[in-house]
Amino acid sequence: MYAIECKNLTHYYGKKMVYENLSFNVEEGKILGLLGKNGTGKSTTINILNGFLQPCAGECLIYGENTQLLTPETKRRIGFLIEGHVQYTFMNIHQIEKFYSGFYEGWNSAPYWELMSKLKVTPKQKISSMSCGQRSQVALGLILAQNPDLLILDDFSMGLDPGYRRLFIDYMREYAKAEHKTVFVTSHIIQDMERLIDDVMIMDYNRILAQQPIDQFMNTFRQFNISLADHNAVIDFDGMAVNIERVKDKIEFYTYSTEEEVKGFFKMKGIAYNSFEEVKMSLEDAFIGLTRKY
């Protein structure tokens, strides 16, 4: 059963294509991380999912409903964290809790107040005068109190220091797994995602580069650092490499192939090398390896 189904999404801003025929699904109970460089369409996708942007073609369904026509009942099942932890900053923590509680029948304020008790804020302090980290906890607490089935978190790490990022991730992971919640998350800080997500979707300009469980991706996508014997060697890697970063004789070779397959390929092509080493990658390394440095 899918919480989110996007089918053949196509979107343009004027004549600039964001993507064409993009399709993906998010299974219920999974945490999916959407990664992509700036301008690859992450925010566009989030906006379409939340009904704030009508795609040129295709559709996204959340719990079977078109996101452009979500009913209040379905919206009640979706928690939405806007990029930068945007909230009604003219309120204080009591006012904002009182405001939101009126909209959700199953409102459970306990996790909200538990998080608020950790913040060193005065009861009447406006959210506008809080730090970015404190605001992130307010936004997170409100989502937890709402108790939605699906959480859409747009760049949750923006502006947070490492401590608050870690707190946010650990809290979210524990909550989502314990309560069988579905999470669709984007973040600029990819190292955070590794601790949080079950599945990864990596977008490049106009297409999806990878969509699979994070463990599978990290186990099958590899980096080999190779030092060529002849730094002038011209090599056609025809399909073996997903990406190659080369400086003279030094090659960073990114591939879904195994070490044996790559070595066999070099042997078949008659390319000599001085050293050949598989490098353990973090998710951030793998992301850059897949999408290139620039």
Partner 1 sequence: MLKSIIYKEWIKIRLIILISLGLSLLALINIFLKVRHDILFVDAANYWYSFLFRGSAYFGILKFLPFAIGLAVAIAQYIPETVNKRIKLTFHLPVSENGILIWMHAFGAAVLLILFLIVMGLFTAGSAIFFPSNMINPSLVTVTPWFLGGMATYFLVALILLEPVWIFRGLYTIVAAGFVAIFYTGAAIEAFRPVLPLLILITLLLSFVVLFSGYRFRKGEM
Pick the closer one to partner 1 by CB: 99 or 113.
99
Backbone angles phi, psi at 167, to 5 degrees: -60, -45
Pick the closer one to partner 1 by CB: 56 or 229.
56
Question: And the tokens for 32?
Answer: 């999916």
Question: And the tokens for 113?
Answer: 């107040």
Closest C-alpha among 67, 271, 290, 74 to residue 200: 290
Q: How far is the CB of 223 from partner 1 (least distance, A)?
A: 38
Pick the closer one to partner 1 by CB: 24 or 80.
80
Pick the closer one to partner 1 by CB: 53 or 189.
53
List residues near partner 1 by CB under 8 A: 13, 47, 50-54, 72-73, 75-76, 78, 80, 82, 84, 86-91, 95, 98-104
Q: How far is the CB of 68 from partner 1 (least distance, A)?
A: 8
Q: How far is the CB of 98 from partner 1 (least distance, A)?
A: 7
Q: How far is the CB of 52 from partner 1 (least distance, A)?
A: 6
Q: How far is the CB of 171 from partner 1 (least distance, A)?
A: 21
Pick the closer one to partner 1 by CB: 102 or 123.
102
